[in-house]
Structure 1
Amino acid sequence: MLNKNSIQPLYKQLMDIITQQIKNGTYKPGEKIPPEPELAELYHVSRITVRRTVEELCTQGYLIKHQGKGTFVKSPMIFRKFESQKNMSFSESCRQNDRSPASHVLSFCKKSADSITSDFLQLPSGEEVFFLERLLLADGIPIIDVHTWLPVQLFPDFDPNAVENGSFFEYLKSAYHYSIADSSRSTVSVTTASSDMAQTLSLSLGDPVLILDSFMESPDGQPLYISREYIAGSRYTISF
């Protein structure tokens, strides 16, 4: 409980308690903390004290407010580094940040390639490609909605079940003997979450979303596939 005779302000004492609860797992990343009136009653302090505590913890990156939903424990951001000679995979970046990666296939079908896809993959106009959509998670929290376009002729009999909670790169290597060139090209842009994005990534409408477009080639320069990653901006950091 809080010590009202201490020289340390009550809001700082409460900050220490809540940060310790976050660190020991009482409140887990992505979990909603009790509302301010409940915290005020629990710790026998004013709502003003609780409000300042929450605001300070939001500023320090421990908590995040979602309008109309409440205050949640902010997930530690995943750091992913892109270099000219080596691009870090999502699974690698999770493990380096002590997070557990997972992936789920959301959809898989054939569709006609658009002009950008056809040009890069060197396909005749309108030729069909495989379209694969996966949701990538860290410690069960949605991080990336990734869309991938693969030429059917290079990946016949592609099995989406093989990448359900499995490595996409490892599947390409083991099933088709393809590896990815370290220097494959990627670009980043920024948008805000649409209603569909917000639902898929468990975001609020209008939250920041990074878009990572990657044009993947084999080491000998053969175009392999295109991917577009919609990344929860508050949960992920990219360094070039």
Structure 2
Amino acid sequence: MKQELDYTRGAKPLYAQLYDILLHKLKTGEYKKNDILPTEAEFEERFGVSRITARRALAELVAKGLVKRQAGIGTMVISTSEKQGVKTRMSLVDGQQQVPINRKNLKLEFILPPEVVAEAFGLTSGEKLQCLTRTICRQNEVPAQLNYIWLTPRLEALTLEDITNGLYSALEARGENIDAFQDVITAEMATEEDCNILNVAFSEPLLIKTRKGFNEKGELVEYTIARHIARFYQYRVENSR
């Protein structure tokens, strides 16, 4: 029997709702230490969500140190209570939190990556990577951020048509699932390309979120550099259980 999730406008993302449900089951003892959680396919059937959504919810549990994923075994409970830690998130401050996101994929091409990206993927000098350039828009189709998503060289060449139904769906279809990620937040001034695409001035400050996404083997799948217009966002840090 499927458990209902809230699909109404303004509701939490589905992965966050699923995470809350699983966390409740851990805290109430429905799932105990050393239990093996249902598979992603079972979550798909039980909650009516995609496997990508289920995988992201499980990745959140992994990040909290509550479960671990083992090849050939599944997802095992290693703790039933959250450890005190720091939670971080980016949120809009311009009143558009409830406005649906519109992703615009601008181009997908093989180009030379920045040195830090090449080093992360272990590339040799002069080796190119596929890079997806896209904007994230909200109200009035005004871009709020610009993303450069560098993809593992293990992938064959993709086209914009391949990612029509979502980049992560395309990755999953090719056996490159995102199982865990790591974010770093910095700040920079806008570059010339930022100015042209985001329609900002050179003096405009940007929040930069760098994300590394890993598969279940711990291999790097994506290296995303997301450039946020700072006046649209706030960076929140919460110390809680």
- What TM-score bracket applies, with the shorter chain setting the length? 0.5 to 0.7
Deviation track 1:166-214 (CA, whole Å, cap 9, x = no partner) reads 53223322x31322233x2221111223443233113244122111111
* Pair 1:134-2:131 in alignment: no
TM-score (norm: length of structure 2):
0.53
Q: Distance in 2 between matches of 1:129 and 1:145?
A: 18
> Quick check: 2:89–2:235 contact (8 Å CA) kept in 1?
no
The secondary structure found in structure 1 opposite 2:120 is helix
Question: Identical aligned pairs, as a percentage?
Answer: 15
Q: Distance in 2 between matches of 1:100 and 1:158?
A: 26
Change (3 A) 1:221 1:135: same
TM-score (norm: length of structure 1):
0.53
Q: Distance in 2 between matches of 1:235 and 1:200?
A: 16
User: Which segments of 5 or more consecutive residues in structure 2 lack a partner in the other structure?
Assistant: 1-59, 65-86, 91-95
Deviation track 1:75-102 (CA, whole Å, cap 9, x = no partner) reads xxxxxxxx78289999xxxxx9311111
The secondary structure found in structure 2 opposite 1:100 is coil
Change (3 A) 1:202 1:112: closer
* Pair 1:212-2:196 in alignment: no
Aligned residue for 1:185?
182
The secondary structure found in structure 2 opposite 1:228 is strand
Q: Distance in 2 between matches of 1:88 and 1:180?
A: 20
> Quick check: 1:215–1:226 contact (8 Å CA) kept in 2?
yes
| 1:162-173 pair list within 5 angstroms | 162-163=162-163, 166-173=165-172
Once the two structures are TM-superposed, the CA of residue 107 in structure 1 deviates from its matched residue by 2.4
| 1:63-82 pair list within 5 angstroms | none
Aligned residue for 1:236?
233
Count, aligned residues: 149
Out of 197, 202, 206, the residue aligned to residue 199 of structure 2 is 202
The secondary structure found in structure 1 opposite 2:126 is coil
The secondary structure found in structure 2 opposite 1:145 is strand
Letter in 2 for 1:170: S
> Quick check: 2:105–2:160 contact (8 Å CA) kept in 1?
yes
Instruction: Kindly name which structure, 1 or 2, has the bigger radius of gyration based on alpha carbons.
Output: 1
Change (3 A) 1:198 1:161: same
Aligned residue for 1:97?
97
Q: Distance in 2 between matches of 1:161 and 1:101?
A: 19
Aligned residue for 1:110?
110
Change (3 A) 1:118 1:195: closer
The secondary structure found in structure 1 opposite 2:116 is helix
Aligned residue for 2:42?
none
> Quick check: 1:212–1:228 contact (8 Å CA) kept in 2?
yes
User: Which segments of 5 or more consecutive residues in structure 1 lack a partner in the other structure?
Assistant: 1-82, 91-95
Change (3 A) 1:188 1:137: same
Q: Distance in 1 between matches of 2:199 and 2:114?
A: 29
The secondary structure found in structure 2 opposite 1:180 is coil
Structure of greater relative contact order (alpha carbons < 8 Å, 6+ residues apart): 2
